[in-house]
Amino acid sequence: MSDSGHSDISANLARVRERIARACSRVGRQPGEVTLVAVTKTRSPEEIIQAYQCGVRHLGENRVEEAEVKIPALASAFQADPPTWHMIGHVQSRKAERAVAIADVIHSVDSLRLARRLDRFAGELGKRMPVLLELNVSGEESKEGFPSWDDAGREALLVQIPELIACEHLSLRGLMTMAPIVPDPEQARPVFQALRRIRDTLRERFDALDWPELSMGMTDDFEVAIEEGATLVRIGRAIFGPRDY
């Protein structure tokens, strides 16, 4: 990548961090409460290294296959201070073992079946895998996640929580959702509010866990997500620019 490319990523990151800080300030939060996960889907090793050199230490991949190539290839470049790799995309059950082997955190546990498979493979690998439960709170058919957009879905989720907690090789860290793509970020606010309310219910009913993380908000809506309590924001385009497929 050229020096101008490096400058673009550096400038973009500075803008994103400033927007995070301003969003936190509006609701009385500290910027340190929000972790920036740079989404590296389709990005080149050179671009990822540039982001790393600008201080990024949390990287998010959407596909197991892509992560399996990138993470080992970049290991030597990051050896002194390894980043945390987040699996943020849908994980098919048949790829659960590979996801556990390659990722440090999995955001997208969207079924009890997948959780049990991840638990099994984490045990075999001697890992305790930090995970988030992905919830579909918008009701969109295209979205993955535990159905949580109505009372029946939320009650069904609550019934499954003890079984999820019983997965001894998983560490339940919180919840994740994807908001609909909308022209105005304010239209996504109800989705983020709903996820936070479900997290609050889980804290009340299953208080043995703190449920600290809310993974919500991307390039188009992360400021609203932060205002509603996001602790992890998944940002790609605002850092790296439009994707070139």
**Structural domain count, the chain:** 1
Contacts of 144 (CB under 8 A, 6+ apart): 90, 108, 110, 134, 136, 178
pTM: 0.94
Is 3 a residue whose pLDDT tops 60? no
* 15: in domain: yes
The proportion of the chain whose per-residue pLDDT surpasses 70, expressed as a percent, equals 96
- What is the tens place of the pLDDT at every residue in 38-76? 999 999 999 999 999 999 999 999 999 999 999 999 999
* 208: in domain: yes
**Can you give the pLDDT at residue 141?**
87
- What is the tens place of the pLDDT at every residue in 157-215? 999 999 999 999 999 999 999 999 899 999 999 999 999 999 999 999 999 899 999 99
Domain range spanning residue 42? 3-240
**225 vs 185: CA distance, rounded Å:** 9
Which has the closest alpha carbon to 50: 38, 35, 36, 64? Answer: 38
**152 vs 32: CA distance, rounded Å:** 36
- Domain holding 55: CATH number? 3.20.20.10
* 245: in domain: no
- What is the tens place of the pLDDT at every residue in 217-227? 999 999 999 99
